[in-house]
């Protein structure tokens, strides 16, 4: 019997990075699960399912993983956490940010990502040795450089970078890979709003196809791939 198709779960499947990552993995035979607050579950097919999820509620992530296994017949071997949130703050008074905004955005940027990583480990433990077993978090430069009006985004990315670094070291002997993806310009600067979804799709597939854990912080450049830069 032919091997079952592998499954990728993309949490936060927006029109740019999320959709391009889905397209890249689908071209390699993956079944795809996409989550978003406005996901259209009526459009589900045998190979691609849409799951409604509000990542301000970290407990909702557990239900997402359960639905993926039910709908696609297997737990995900690749999990991409692509959700992010920010409430711009007064750069001269960053601590004026309301607690409700800070907490909501931290749930999306970090707490739900933590739960997703927990659930990914449980999923990976159910899979055969040959499976990819890769978790990728879409980050940015704010874990290294504070951007004055983006306090809560930087806090969330920094906290999750720590989670990814810890998991990459702890689980590498099990063959589980954890990565913090961070697109940069050729000189190492932030891409800001010029995020290239297609480049993410190609690069994330390369990370998933890798056999062993590479550097946890995957700074990469469009058309080049991984490139190590001095820490900012």
Sheet strand arrangement including 177-184: 48-52, 31-36, 7-11, 78-81, 134-138, 177-184, 217-221, 225-226
Q: How many Å apart are CA 116 and CA 16, to the nearest integer?
A: 21
CA-based radius of gyration for the chain: 17
CA–CA gap between residue 142 and residue 145 (Å, rounded): 5
CA nearest 38: which of 21, 51, 22, 20?
51
Q: Are 77 and 128 in contact (CB under 8 A)?
A: no
Q: Quick one: angle between helices 112-124 and 60-72, nearest 10?
A: 40
Residue 152 to residue 155: CA distance in whole angstroms: 5
Using CA atoms in the order 137, 177, 143, 221, what is the torsion angle rounded to 10 degrees?
A: -80
Q: Which residues contact 56 (CB under 8 A, 6 or more apart)?
A: 104, 107, 108, 112
Active site annotation includes 157: yes
Tokens of 136: 């990728």
Of the residues 31, 133, 157, 177, which is catalytic?
157
Which residues have a catalytic role annotated?
157
């Amino acid at each position: 019997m032919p091997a079952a198709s592998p499954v990728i779960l993309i949490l936060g499947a927006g029109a740019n990075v999320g959709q391009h990552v889905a397209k890249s993995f689908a071209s390699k035979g993956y079944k795809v699960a996409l989550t978003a607050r406005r996901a259209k579950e009526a459009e589900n097919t045998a190979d691609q399912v849409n799951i409604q999820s509000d990542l301000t509620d970290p407990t909702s992530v557990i239900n997402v993983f359960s639905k993926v296994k039910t709908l696609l017949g297997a737990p995900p071997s690749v999990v991409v956490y692509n959700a992010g949130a920010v409430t711009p703050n007064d750069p001269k008074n960053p601590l004026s940010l309301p607690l409700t905004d800070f907490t909501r955005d931290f749930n999306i940027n970090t707490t739900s990502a933590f739960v997703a990583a927990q659930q990914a480990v449980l999923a990976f433990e159910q899979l055969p040795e040959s499976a990819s077993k890769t978790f990728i978090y879409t980050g940015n430069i704010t874990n290294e450089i504070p951007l004055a009006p983006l306090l809560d985004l930087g806090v969330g990315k920094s906290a999750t970078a720590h989670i990814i670094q810890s998991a990459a070291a702890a689980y590498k002997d099990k063959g589980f890979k954890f990565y913090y993806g961070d697109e940069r310009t050729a000189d190492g600067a932030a891409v800001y709003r010029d995020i290239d979804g297609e480049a993410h799709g190609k690069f994330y597939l390369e990370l998933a196809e890798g056999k062993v854990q590479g550097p946890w912080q995957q700074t990469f450049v469009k058309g080049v791939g991984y490139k190590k830069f001095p820490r900012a």
